[in-house]
Structure 1
Amino acid sequence: MPGPTPPLLVELAAPPRAALLWLPALGVPARKYRPLAEALAAHGVLCAVHEWRGTGDCPQRPGRGRDWGYREWLEEDIPASVAALAARAPGLPRLLGGHSIGGQMALLAAALGSPAAGLVVAASGVPDWRCFPRWSERLAVAGFALALPLLTRLFGHYPGDRLGFAGREAGQLMRDWARTVRTGRYAGLRGLPEDLEARLARLDAPLLGLGFCDDWLVPEASWAALVGKTRARTVTLQWFDAESLGVAPDHFAWLRAPAAPAAAIADWWQRQPAAGAAPVQPLNC
């Protein structure tokens, strides 16, 4: 089921040095990233924020007969935004990045052919239940993933607005997410190539990871699992604590104070020579 052309929130930079397509976290509307886009523009990075189907200003909402999953995101919606950004910023190096599930989708989209001179993942990792350090977290995440197929078929969608995790989401989307939680792999996803993991392994663009010291949703093992699926020629990881960020260094609070992450993205891109970048020294969390 084709969706409408996804809305884009675009923050222009003058003069721009690069154009970044940013993919949000699950259930987070594009407008929440306006401060990040503004901060990036101040550093010369034109930022366009994709709106997920069914979220924010996108009029389509999930329900029985209105379903979609990773395939629609990756083969229809993200390529439409990539093309829109290319038309808006011809000739600029194009970066692809995202927050949480958006970071996963950025890498998967690049693996499927979306052009990316560089990749940025913020608070993002493979949501493999085995990556969580505490058994209580592992059991909670694994149990939630096991319940999602039945829950989404019962309601005809995922009622995240009632459950307090994400928003009202498409059932197939959450079943795709749950499969990755259970297996730790992007394989066997409805309608997507069976060799998606192999395609990820061929990604060699420079990659920047932004981590947050109190982000229990993305432990370091989860981030390492995601980056480890690529062969990025340079991988730079920068951790933020409360002192460097100015707010709680968790999964979402940084959106309210994105100055330091935006500066890190711009500095990382500015320092990319042909052979790669010097690594940023991580913080000790």
Structure 2
Amino acid sequence: MNLQETPPLAPTQIELPLACDALGEPFRELAADGFALGGFSWRHAAKDTQRPVVIINAATSVRCRHYSRFADYLFANDFDVITYDYRGIGESRPTSLKGLKASWSDWGALDFEAMLKRAQREFPDQPIDVVGHSFGGCAAGLGASGRLIRRMVTVGAQFAYWRDYAPSHRWRMLGKWHVVMPLLTMIYGYFPGKRLGWLEDTPAGVVRDWSTPTARYEKRPSGRDHHTRHFAAVTAKALAISISDDPYGTIPAIERLLNYFTHSNNTHLRIAPEDIGEKEVGHFAFFRSAYQATLWPIALSWLQNGELAPGTPGRTVPRS
């Protein structure tokens, strides 16, 4: 089903070979508490204050390298790009995760905030946009400098309230993420997700935030220490993309997070796999290069124009 609205500008798009998998230039950035974060920058040689820089916020325990092809795509379409790993993950992982102080709120208030500061410093006077996957959309509301964000695209963005999970998957996901994961974390001092094939190894504080069964972010363990008022500072024009077969990103889950962004201009786009000729997409596939021709242009159009292009697949969800 196609949207009926017809915005004035369609996306201008340069496609990349599907095999493209180059990384940007590596960097190290210190967060406000001195923790060293690792990431990659895609930077055009010629400076242009009209060119936006996009910060990509990863999903929980997903390495920033997962988004490198999407970053290449944005770079080819005249964006500068920053990808990075939260503390404890990938390029930002210390030797041991045991005893590491890291929580969801640290990932937003310290790590994402550091990237906003880096974007200001390394790309002066350029507009700053954000792409947030899963928890990465929540992280965008936790930085004190969220007012800097011009446009934002989130994909499956929520903060794992178990009652929002898709009913057909709910009890299995509850057992996996809210029972087994915290139990293993108690035993090992961190969640050994990599050896289980369940994402990356994850700091204990993040696990506590994820597994706490409350509908309010400020009731999560680290949420009590970081006021959610920073969400209200975000005035970006925001597109929240959800996929109908994503068991995490149900409509209630997406709307629950969007309701924290009280001063942004929010649009929720719901896409079914059949809208793009697919049988399934799920929670993680959006950023795979197989969707370069079908899903990536939706994000690109929003970042370029702040609008959905004519013929965009899916439907907009009425805001309550």
Aligned to 1:160: 193
Pick one of 34, 55, 63 that aligns with 2:97: 63
Of the structure 1 ranges 201-210 and 79-88, higher mean CA displacement relative to structure 2 is found in: 201-210
Provide closer, same or farther for how the CA distance between residues 230 and 45 of structure 1 changes in structure 2, counting only shifts above 3 A.
same
Q: CA deviation at 1:248?
A: 4.3
Pick one of 160, 167, 177 that aligns with 1:127: 160
* CA distance, structure 2, for counterparts of residue 167 and residue 142 of structure 1: 19
Q: CA deviation at 1:20?
A: 1.0
Query: Contact (CA 8 Å) 1:45, 1:266: kept in 2 or not?
Result: no
Aligned ranges 1:1-285 → 2 under 5 Å: 2=33, 4-13=35-44, 17-109=51-143, 112-114=144-146, 115-134=148-167, 137-143=169-175, 144-179=177-212, 182-190=213-221, 192=223, 196-201=227-232, 203-238=234-269, 239=271, 241=273, 244=276, 248-257=280-289, 258-259=291-292, 260-272=294-306, 277=307, 283=314
Provide closer, same or farther for how the CA distance between residues 278 and 169 of structure 1 changes in structure 2, counting only shifts above 3 A.
closer
Provide closer, same or farther for how the CA distance between residues 142 and 74 of structure 1 changes in structure 2, counting only shifts above 3 A.
same
Q: CA deviation at 1:155?
A: 1.2
- What 5-or-longer segments of structure 1 have no aligned partner? none
Q: Which has the higher helix share?
A: 1
Which AA in structure 2 matches 1:185? R
Which AA in structure 1 matches 2:191? Y
Q: CA deviation at 1:58?
A: 2.5
| 1:37-71 deviation digits (Å, cap 9, x = unpaired) | 11111222221111122222234144322342123
After superposition, the CA RMSD in angstroms is 3.0
* CA distance, structure 2, for counterparts of residue 90 and residue 30 of structure 1: 23
Query: Contact (CA 8 Å) 1:123, 1:212: kept in 2 or not?
Result: yes
Secondary structure of 1:37 counterpart: helix
Which AA in structure 2 matches 1:137? H
* CA distance, structure 2, for counterparts of residue 218 and residue 138 of structure 1: 12
Provide closer, same or farther for how the CA distance between residues 186 and 246 of structure 1 changes in structure 2, counting only shifts above 3 A.
same
Secondary structure of 2:130 counterpart: strand
- Between 1 and 2, higher relative CO (CA 8 Å, sep ≥ 6) is seen in 2
Query: Contact (CA 8 Å) 1:62, 1:169: kept in 2 or not?
Result: no
